[in-house]
Amino acid sequence: MGPSLLLLFVVGDILGTGVYALTGRVAAEVGGAAWLPFLIAFVVAILTAFSYLELVTKYPQAAGAALYTHKAFGVHFFTFIVAFTVMCSGITSASTASRTFAANLGEAFDLDLRTAGVTIVALLFMGLVALVNFRGVGESVKANVVLTCVELSGLLIIIMIGLWAIGGGEADMSRVTEFDTHGQGVFGAVTAATALAFFAMVGFEDSVNMAEECKEPSRIFPKVMLSGLVITGVIYVLVAISSVALVPVDQLGEGDTPLLQVVEAGAPGFPLKIFAFITMFAVANSALINMLMASRLVYGMSRERVLPGPLGRVHHARRTPWVAIIFTTLLAVGLITFVAEVPALGGTTSLLLLAVFTVVNIAVLVLRRNPVEHQHFRSPTIIPIIGAIACAYLATPFTGRPSEEYRIAGILLAVGVVLWVVTVLVNRRLHRPQGDMDDPENLGVGGPIN
């Protein structure tokens, strides 16, 4: 894979549900300066990207956080927890996308979908995703190029509408510098909004799985990943500025279709249904890819005997991990049914990944003790230190992160731990060796594509 296709892959991985669904909620947290949390989230992502770049060029294998954790710490249960956390982040991301899909479907077809209606449509959509997942989907770079162009087109429409309105004097640029912190202070409001906005930046870590497909990854990969992050960061900041300049913050924060409000306010003649379909397409792709990742990861952990054996069963005709697909789909169904808010699901995704990113930033420092023979990218030591501190802080309650997100994450991880304990007991009873995970490439995925 050359630099151009790799760049589209990175940009396509990052673009998606986050900015389409959560721009309004970020603005509701901090006010008109909604661009600032996206900018800070971009900086934190860049810091973590430096750690991923050092590790992927040092170990150019399609394994991601599980491989780096295993090489750095060598604790099998810890490696399992990191891998299962990545899997959970994929399910919460797909659940977020499902509810966003349902909300935009209502707008596209003029349906009066209330909370129950959105939940029902989201569940039906998740069922469709499960069927496609069961049938088997062959992802290709060319398909990713098409999907990326569709996702990008929606955001460019927002930016162009914003620039047109600003140039014509129809936008209120004074709102862009206003803070509405609801009495909690600027720092607290910005960090709380950043913890939510970070969901829009996830996905870059998945591109490490393409390292083996690149020519000269140690030379090409750093430039391409950082370029992709810069492109998406600029797009997100411009989208946030356009949004708050065209729509009052209190209106922008209502509902799960904030960008549709921006289109309606800035370009009343633009067909909203077309934009709603673009959004649906973008988030549908995110849901499918994340559920594919989650089910294959569960299958890999079952194959390594760290999850119950039945989860690794493959359909005799389709050759897809049907039990793992059912398991991950049921978890998503539970989230969609009992977690009615998109921000809670998106916030849980960022919480889970921030925890993983903290581990990765620490792992890069630990693995400095293990040199390799080939040349590889090396980040300045201070960067992973700052990255680890920043990611860890954004994952703490000190940011004002809702307790519901910790409950959701805790329940998901508790399910994994229970399954792991059951597997250990069964393996001991049957005198089977526990999977030592010495080849964590079987667990090798990066994280959710938002």
**Sequential DSSP letters for 258-299:** HHHHHHHHH-TTS-HHHHHHHHHHHHHHHHHHHHHHHHHHHH
HSE at residue 282, side-chain half, CA atoms within 13 A, is 29
- From the list 158, 156, 160, the residue with the least C-alpha distance to 148 is 156
Which DSSP string corresponds to 89-105? Answer: HHHHHHHHHHHHHHHHH
Distances (CA, A) of 142 to 129, 138, 149: 21, 11, 11
Name the pLDDT band for 139 (thresholds 50, 70, 90): very low
Q: Which residue has the higher pLDDT, 191 or 116?
A: 191
Domain at 427, CATH number: 1.20.1740.10
- Is residue 450 one of the residues assigned to a domain? no
Q: Which residue has the higher pLDDT, 444 or 194?
A: 194
Helices (H), 304-339: 322-338
Comparing 2-16, 32-46, 323-337, which segment has the lowest mean pLDDT?
A: 2-16
When divided into structural domains, the chain yields a total of: 1
- Is residue 382 one of the residues assigned to a domain? yes
- Is residue 301 one of the residues assigned to a domain? yes
- Is residue 209 one of the residues assigned to a domain? yes
Residue 282 amino acid letter: A
- Is residue 448 one of the residues assigned to a domain? no
Structural domain including 195 reads: 3-443
Ramachandran sector of residue 25 (left: φ over 0; alpha: ψ -120 to 50; beta: rest)? alpha
- Is residue 398 one of the residues assigned to a domain? yes
- Is residue 433 one of the residues assigned to a domain? yes
pLDDT surpassing 60 at residue 254: yes
Name the pLDDT band for 9 (thresholds 50, 70, 90): confident
